[in-house]
Structure 1
Amino acid sequence: MGTDLNYIQYVVEQVGLGSRLTHKKMFGEYALYVDGKVVAFVCDNSLFVKPSQAAVKLTPHLPQRAPYPGARNYPVADELLDDSDSLRRLILETAVLMPEPKPKASRKTK
């Protein structure tokens, strides 16, 4: 089905991190980044937070399912969209636990 851009904008607004939270379209769906770190995916208009100790600690009750065929299960945080404070905390604590983005390789000029 693919994710609607309006849904992405709604998620970004609900998280409330301003320019710290960015998104990038990937294969018809979206990845969400905090300070350059991937923290979640939005697939078929559902918010999938990266599995981490933050999700286990803060939201053990969230349902889990695969965001796309062949993926492992991720916590589905759709129910937190009505609770911006809890969602923001989950996203920020997840970001702390994610690895730093790899530096992009420089292109050699010919």
Structure 2
Amino acid sequence: MSTDKATVAEFLEQLEPLDVRARAMFGEYGLYCDDKLVALIADDQLLVKPSAAAADYAEESWLVPPYPGAKPYFRIPESKLAESAWLREFVQRTADVLPARVPKSRKSSAKPQ
């Protein structure tokens, strides 16, 4: 099952005014805050990446893999999704503790001699 685009739009709207965007990935979506991958949107559910910030916001019982074989993420329960201020704070704090994205180096087009 894939995520409905309307669900993605709802999550983005709920997270305003944070610097967030969603990017289609493998039939689902990655959620970026401050250009850092902080969450996944899969099967119309929001799953936040585990980080040092999670201890203040999430419960261990929320940890589930977004798809078979994946590392677990914190699936946000419906009851917490309604708390916009809490959700914005959790997403922003997660972005704050994640390392900055390292740009990939471009390979030289020159062939070795």
Into which bin does the TM-score normalised by the smaller protein fall?
0.7 to 0.9
CA contact (8 A) 1:48 1:75 kept: yes
**What SS class does the counterpart of residue 9 from structure 1 fall into?**
helix
Q: Which residue of 2 aligns with 1:81?
A: 81
**What SS class does the counterpart of residue 53 from structure 2 fall into?**
helix
**Deviation per residue, 1:38-89 (Å, 9 max, x gap):** 1000011110000112122222276221101101221111432211000000
Unpaired runs of 5+ in structure 1?
A: none
- The 10-residue stretch of structure 1 (63-72 or 4-13) with the greater mean CA deviation from structure 2: 63-72
For residues 6-21 of structure 1, the aligned pairs below 5 Å read 6-18=6-18, 20-21=19-20
- Partners in 2 of 1:59 and 1:107 — Cα distance? 40
The alignment status of 1:35 with 2:1, answered yes or no, reads no
Q: Which residue of 2 aligns with 1:69?
A: 68
Q: Give me the identity figure in percent.
A: 37
| Shift >3 Å, 4+ stretches | 106-110
CA RMSD of aligned residues (A): 1.8
The alignment status of 1:97 with 2:103, answered yes or no, reads no
State the AA in 2 paired with 1:22: R
**What SS class does the counterpart of residue 50 from structure 2 fall into?**
coil
Note closer, same or farther for the CA distance 1:92–1:62 as it changes in structure 2 (3 Å cut): farther
Unpaired runs of 5+ in structure 2?
A: none
State the AA in 1 paired with 2:11: V
The alignment status of 1:52 with 2:56, answered yes or no, reads no
CA contact (8 A) 1:7 1:45 kept: yes
**What SS class does the counterpart of residue 41 from structure 1 fall into?**
strand
Pairs aligned (count)? 109
**What SS class does the counterpart of residue 103 from structure 1 fall into?**
coil
